Copies of this chain bind each other. A is one copy, B any other.
């Protein structure tokens, strides 16, 4: 399927107050190439293998294929992944009819918070919550695959969104 989403930095931790759920995510990459990213994820007690293709010019749409796998399988596959393994806490935050997924990164990306909103079309209008900062859709540095290679703390693109 084609995934349509926009990504933003986050300017305060207010989103936590309106979150309806929170998940621990651990993920690694078998390939970080943006044209054929292969991600292994453990989200709470579920495992997933995901393949993502190249995004369009604006970075809004991207082919994505995902398969649920056993957590034990995901653990084995994560052990084959390139360093580093990403750890993050995801807050699911509904706002004005859209669901925002807000990821607080840990480890070498501690301090980085990214909000994503999935859309039905590239031109779909959505209301922005007050804690939404600058848009980073299509900025490859903020792809999770790239953050696993070039963490926020080391990469030097600290554009200041610490809540």
Chain A interface residues (CB < 8 Å from chain B): 30-31, 33, 35-36, 38, 49, 51, 53, 63, 65, 67, 69, 73, 76-77, 80-82
Query: Bound state CA distance, A144 and B141, in angstroms?
Result: 32
B30 touches A80 (CB 8 A): no
Query: Bound state CA distance, A110 and B51, in angstroms?
Result: 30
What is the total number of copies of this protein in its complex?
Answer: 2
Contact of A73 among B30, B31, B65, B82 (CB under 8 A): B65
A57 to chain B, nearest CB (A): 18
B80 touches A53 (CB 8 A): yes
Q: Name 26 A/B residue pairs within 8 A (Cβ), A-sorted.
A: A30-B30, A30-B31, A30-B36, A30-B38, A30-B51, A31-B31, A31-B33, A31-B36, A31-B38, A35-B80, A36-B80, A36-B81, A36-B82, A38-B38, A49-B49, A49-B67, A51-B77, A51-B80, A53-B80, A63-B76, A63-B80, A65-B73, A65-B76, A65-B77, A67-B67, A67-B69
A61 to chain B, nearest CB (A): 15
Query: Bound state CA distance, A144 and B122, in angstroms?
Result: 39
Q: What residues on B are CB-neighbors of A31 within 8 Å?
A: 30-31, 33, 36, 38
User: Which 4 A-B residue pairings sit nearest by Cβ, starting from the closest?
Assistant: A31-B31, A36-B80, A30-B36, A53-B80
